[in-house]
Amino acid sequence: MTQEQDDPVWQAAWTWVQREFDRARFDAAARLELERWLAEDPAHRRAHRQAARLWDLAGQVPARASRGDGTATTAPPEPCD
């Protein structure tokens, strides 16, 4: 297990970040609940900021291309016109 897996604050922050990006279900009530959680402890805000940064970085990693037979290639896919 990693340190993050053992840290309940990190786990809560990661869950909040995942919830935030589910735009269909993250409503005003959820936003208020998140704001309350962030205000409870400065560690919550730090962990949330780190989790959000990790989420952003993960989104910048390109998906692996597929040959169509289920096997991955190392070359990027050809652009579609």
pTM score = 0.67
H or E, element range at 14: helix 8-20
Q: What is the pLDDT of residues 21-74, one digit of tens each?
A: 888 889 999 999 999 999 999 999 999 999 999 999 988 777 665 555 555 544
For residue 12, pLDDT over 50 is answered with yes
Q: CA 36, 57, 39 angle in degrees (round to 5)?
A: 10
